[in-house]
Amino acid sequence: MIRAVLFDLDGVLTDTSEYHFLAWKRLADELGIPFDRQDNEALRGVSRRESLLLLLKGRPATEEDMQAWMERKNRYYVEYISQMTPENLLPGALNLLQELRANGYKTAIVSSSKNTPLVLERLNLAHWIDAVVDGNAPARSKPAPDLFLLAAERLGVVPQECLVVEDAAAGIDAGHAAGMRTLGLGPRERVGHADMVLPDLNGVHLADLKPVLE
Ligand code: G6P
Ligand code: MG
């Protein structure tokens, strides 16, 4: 039986995945590296360093270059998210969090992003969340199971009692590696390996999740 629902943040509860894309695109344009939305699909849900390596596609770079480029991308990204308000929650997200809590489920945010605290503050979500595990934790990023396992531990539940909600292939892989059930949001080509797939959380109620909650 599921007792806790672990939500990814970027692309699940809020539209920051678009800001990540815009910030990487800006850096890629400045470096003269071709980069489009299709290329961006591979970056979804993976860490900042891994994203840069994917963007560079084998181009040579020193550690100093890498640090400078990651910092520059993050500067652009922080510019975008600093403008966010609770309006940037995706449709259905807050409603589902509230329904879960009203029905005794525990909730957590589990994100690879080091910017999670700032995004959560902008979205004003703290009240509906029991635990936050983010990219600042001394653990491996998704697709490793570490962040999800840490969240289960903090919530006092075992992995088999957790449902992971993710928009990224790497996130679904991480959930499965942790021994958890998974709900994938987005196209089947991306999250078709999840236990259940929905386009997004718009109009989704607890009853719709019955197949993965029982
Ligand atoms: C999330 C996003 C990724 C991002 C990663 C690191 O997983 O889906 O697109 O690269 O976090 O984010 P950060 O804010 O730490 O650069
Ligand atoms: Mg995501």
Q: What was the pLDDT predicted at 140?
A: 93
CB atoms within 10 A of CB 80: 15
- Residues 76 and 30 occupy one common structural domain: yes
Q: Is the CB of 14 under 6 A from ligand 1?
A: no
Catalytic annotation present for 8? yes
130 has catalytic annotation = no
CATH of the domain at 125: 3.40.50.1000
What is the mean pLDDT for each group of 10 consecutive residues in the chain (214 residues)?
A: 97 94 98 96 92 96 98 98 96 98 98 96 95 95 96 98 97 98 97 98 97 94
Q: Decide if 141 contacts 50 (C-beta within 8 A).
A: yes
Q: What is the pLDDT of residue 111?
A: 97
Cβ neighbours of residue 159 closer than 8 Å, sequence gap 6 or more: 148, 149, 152, 178, 179, 180
Separation of 88 CA from ligand 1 center, angstroms? Answer: 17
pLDDT at 94: 97
Task: Read off the tokens for 127.
Answer: 């009240």
* ipTM for the complex shown: 0.98
**What is the CA(72)–ligand 1 centre distance, in A?**
14
Query: Last residue of a domain, which of 47, 81, 115?
Result: 81
pTM value is 0.95
Determine the structural domain holding residue 187 and report its residue range: 4-14+87-213
